[in-house]
C-alpha cells in the first residue's frame, strides 16, 4: 500500500457531545439492530467507566458492523427501523449506572480469515472529541492471532478490545476511558 495522499482541506475540529444530547440523539429502537428475542439476535452490553472506575452516566455509543455473513449493509432505515432490514448501525445512550445494551448479530469476517469485529464510536460529556475502538469476537483465536492491529499491541492492551462471551451467548464489552486497563482507542490515516 502506498502512502496516503495529503489532505486538501483541514478538518473541522470536534467538540464534546455535552450533557444535553439525551433528548436529541437517541431515537426509537436505536440500539436494536435486530428485534430483541429474534432467533438470530445476541446481546452486546457492558459498562462505561472513568479513570476512578466510576460509571459514566452520560455517554453515547454507536456501533457499525457487518452481518453474520460478513456482508456490509447499504440499506437506509437505521433511524426508522422496519423490523426486518439489517442496516448494521446502532446507537445507545448508557443508563444511569453507565451500562449500555445493543441487540445485534455476531459479525462475520468481511474477508475470509480476517478476525471479525464491531466498529465502535464513543461520545460523552467531559470527552472533548469522539473515540474509536473495535470490539473483536473472542472465538476465532487463529484469526485474532493474525490480526495486524492486535498483533501490534501487548497482551494486556490487546485484551481490552476482545469481547467476552457469556453463557447465554451475549457479548460483554466494557469501556474504560482512563486508567490501568484503559481501552485501546484508535487513530486512522488522513485525520489531518
In whole angstroms, the minimum distance from the beta carbon of 52 to other proteins comes to 6
Of these partners, Fe ion, other proteins, none, which one is at the site of residue 178 (CB under 5 to 8 Å by kind)? other proteins
With a CB cutoff of 8 Å and minimum separation 6, the contacts of 145 are 151
> Would you say 133 and 120 are in contact if contact means Cβ atoms under 8 Å apart?
yes
Min dist CB 60 to Fe ion, Å, is 14
Site for other proteins in 130-189 (CB under 8 A): 130-132, 134, 148-149, 152-153, 157, 177-179, 182-189
Supply the DSSP symbol for 62.
E
Residue 26 as a binder of other proteins (CB under 8 A): the answer is yes
Binding residues for Fe ion restricted to 7-46, rule: CB under 5 A? 18
C-alpha cell at 56: 459514566
At closest approach, how far in Å is the CB of 167 from other proteins?
26
DSSP letter assigned to residue 23: G
When binding is defined by CB under 8 A, the residue of 110, 139, 159, 170 that contacts other proteins is 110
| C-alpha 110, offset from chain centre | 16
Quote the CA–CA distance of 87 and 84 in Å, as a whole number: 9
Amino acid at each position: 500500500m502506498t502512502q496516503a495522499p495529503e489532505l486538501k482541506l483541514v478538518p473541522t475540529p470536534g467538540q464534546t457531545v455535552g450533557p444535553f444530547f439525551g433528548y436529541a440523539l437517541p431515537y426509537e429502537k436505536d440500539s436494536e439492530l435486530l428485534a430483541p428475542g429474534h432467533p438470530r439476535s445476541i446481546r452486546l452490553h457492558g459498562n462505561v467507566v472513568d479513570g476512578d472506575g466510576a460509571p459514566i452516566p452520560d455517554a453515547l455509543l454507536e456501533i457499525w458492523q457487518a452481518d453474520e455473513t460478513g456482508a456490509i449493509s447499504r440499506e437506509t432505515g437505521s433511524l426508522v427501523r422496519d423490523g426486518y432490514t439489517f442496516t448494521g448501525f446502532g446507537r445507545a445512550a448508557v443508563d444511569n449506572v453507565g451500562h449500555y445494551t445493543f441487540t445485534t448479530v455476531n459479525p462475520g469476517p468481511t474477508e475470509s480469515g480476517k478476525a471479525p469485529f464491531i466498529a465502535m464510536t464513543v461520545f460523552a460529556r467531559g470527552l472533548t472529541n469522539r473515540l474509536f475502538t473495535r470490539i473483536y469476537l473472542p472465538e476465532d483465536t487463529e484469526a485474532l492471532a493474525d490480526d495486524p492491529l492486535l498483533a501490534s499491541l501487548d497482551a494486556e492492551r490487546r485484551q481490552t478490545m476482545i469481547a467476552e462471551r457469556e453463557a447465554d451467548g451475549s457479548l460483554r464489552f466494557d469501556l474504560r476511558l482512563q486508567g490501568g486497563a484503559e481501552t485501546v482507542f484508535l487513530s486512522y490515516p488522513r485525520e489531518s
